[in-house]
Structure 1
């Protein structure tokens, strides 16, 4: 159980995820018990941390395939004191296993 006043993810079947071409991000909504939070993830994070292809058409499917991990990263940033909107970058997803892509 989450500590009082800490964001807790709530299942959100439709998070409004969409590609925003101008900023090269996928924008989406994370619902916590404290309310909804606007968030986005950069093209670079999706490509380098989640192996999205070169095409913009690959970004949204890659986001959806890793949605739980991405939403958890937003929640983690909120717990660290971040304010909405939360922008996720590569550094929000530490590499594991010592290998570099």
Structure 2
């Protein structure tokens, strides 16, 4: 006989109860009910911490961005965005210019 455990950890022997428990388990997975969602204070605290971390992160300089683009390995398959390393390298100057124009305060 195959057993299943309830949320409280008790063994379930009855077939109907097992099916109900599996349905409950998959419903929880479907709706992604995590402990954090059940505890709004924890979620809010983590959001505040993330905001503080984001504020401490400095924007990369143009030089750093340029250097990172040049360090991308050539002759590799493009990623999900289908942009090859070679294309990024060829257009690096214009790309960096546009990134910083778009993000500059107006």
> So what's the TM-score if we normalise by structure 1?
0.29
Structure with the larger helix share: 2
> So what's the TM-score if we normalise by structure 2?
0.28
Larger radius of gyration, structure 1 or 2?
Answer: 2
Bigger relative contact order (CA 8 A; separation at least 6): 1
